[in-house]
Homo-oligomer: A and B are copies of this chain.
Amino acid sequence: MRIQYQELCDTLSSILEKRGMSHSDAVLSAHLFADASRDGVYTHGLNRFPLYVSYIDRGFIDVSARAELESRVGLIERWKGNKGPGNINAHMAMQRAIELSHESAIGVVALRDNNHWMRAGNYGLQAAENGCIGILWTNAMPNMPAWGASDARIGNNPLVIAVPYKDTPVLVDIAMSMFSYGKLERYAMEGRECPVDGGFDEKGNLTKDPVAIARTRRLLPMGYWKGSGLAIALDLVASLVSGGRTTKDIGELEVETGVSQFFMAIDLSLFPDRDEMERKIGETLEFIDSSDPVKESVKVHYPGEGMRRIREESMKLGVYADESVWEKISGLI
């Protein structure tokens, strides 16, 4: 089913206000969820909203708490999340990194003790909308085995890099696992295989079968040992610089909460060759888009470009929502 974007935002924000969130925060949080689904990232948009509300109801998320500055170390600001809503806190932290970058060309905010920030890409787009490169990542609970291991001891720690470009920025938003559990579930529901190997089956062989992977819980790191190593490094940098929990520490909690995040912005508008940059980005993206496609019918797109079509469709026809998800959300009003 499809729901108009504004109706979606109104519904979500009223659910949050009912739970004591201030009007302006509820509107922001609702938009962050709606934006994810609008852009096609359903797993961290509407599909995740009921869990977010249940975390409010169970007290893991404090609707009136907000992230705040804890200390400064040189130019790096360390913030703490105070159990506030993860997406609102992350939005604040990114905004602060952007502000800092307006002064020093580069701004870094490390945020500890935050809740799950939902769709990572939102904060990359936020940087790009403010004329900044955004580089950010989060750690997570242990949900993936390290390369060579069979038990989950590292996080899938999503990494985002965004580069502003006209109305369609470059947006890379990648978890360190090849597929999330949400994606595996969707493939299983649709009776489809993963497009590439996504994990291991019970015999320890790589497989595209989403059901077999969900059974072993042995997700494959993207790029095998490469994604495994990157996940470990990103976890350490975020938790050290923020002074917050490592993936290991998060695993000792009841649910995934109190994560560590790293936000960096680079303000391109301060550079004297800003106009030249626009040409350079355009040429690079055009060069990539005009690659010879493997399948003649499938044009090559730069990362973030495909999202635009989904977004336009969502704004015209309404945002796609799974009926069962929308039923659940409607029950929260």
B148–A300 contact, CB under 8 A? Answer: yes
Having A150-B293, A154-B288, A232-B288, one finds 9 other A-B pairs with CB under 8 Å, namely: A73-B271, A75-B104, A149-B292, A163-B240, A223-B226, A236-B281, A239-B280, A241-B271, A246-B284
Q: What residues of chain B lie closer than 8 Å to A229, measured between beta carbons?
A: 172, 174, 303
Inside 8 A of A266's CB, which chain B residues have their CB? 76, 237, 241
- The reply to whether the CB of A93 lies closer than 8 angstroms to some CB of chain B is no
A222 at the interface (CB under 8 A from B): yes
A-B contact pairs, 19 of them (CB 8 A): A73-B272, A75-B105, A133-B240, A135-B237, A146-B300, A148-B301, A149-B292, A149-B294, A149-B300, A153-B288, A153-B291, A161-B237, A174-B226, A204-B294, A222-B223, A240-B280, A243-B271, A247-B284, A248-B284
Also in contact, A280 and B246, with CB within 8 A (given A74-B104, A153-B288, A232-B170)? yes
Question: Hey, which bits of chain A sit against chain B, CB under 8 A?
Answer: 71, 73-76, 101, 103-106, 108, 133, 135, 145-151, 153-154, 159, 161-163, 170, 172, 174, 178, 196, 204, 222-230, 232-237, 239-241, 243, 246-249, 266-268, 270-273, 276-277, 280-281, 283-284, 287-288, 291-295, 298-303
A246 to B280 Cα, complex, angstroms: 7
Contact of A232 among B73, B227, B232, B303 (CB under 8 A): B303
Residues of B within 8 A of A247 (CB): 284
Q: Which of A226, A247, A276 has the most CB of B within 10 A?
A: A226
Residues of B within 8 A of A150 (CB): 291-294
Complex alpha-carbon distance, A168 and B71, angstroms: 30
Specify which chain B residues have a CB less than 8 angstroms from the CB of A288 in the assembled complex: 146, 149, 153-154, 232
| Interface residue from B151, B268, B294 paired with A291 (Cβ < 8 Å) | B151
Residue in contact with A292 in the complex, picked from B104, B151, B154, CB distance below 8 Å: B151
Most B Cβ at <10 Å: residue of A135, A240, A276, A277: A240
